[in-house]
Amino acid sequence: MILHVAYKLDNKKGRALSKHEKESVQDRKKKIQEECWAKMGLMLDFVKQGHGTTNDGNSARRFFREPKEAAKITQVDFDLISRLALILEVHKKKSF
Q: How far apart are CA 38 and CA 23, in angstroms?
A: 22
Residue pLDDT, tens place only, 54-82: 888 888 889 999 999 999 999 999 999 99
Structural domain span for residue 44: 2-94
pLDDT digits (tens, 9 = 90+) for 27-45: 999 999 999 999 999 999 8
* Sign, Cα dihedral of 77, 23, 37, 45: positive
Confidence of residue 4 (pLDDT cuts 50, 70, 90): confident
Question: pLDDT over 90 for what percent of the chain?
Answer: 44
Number of domains in the chain: 1
> How much is the pTM?
0.79
Residue 74 identity: T
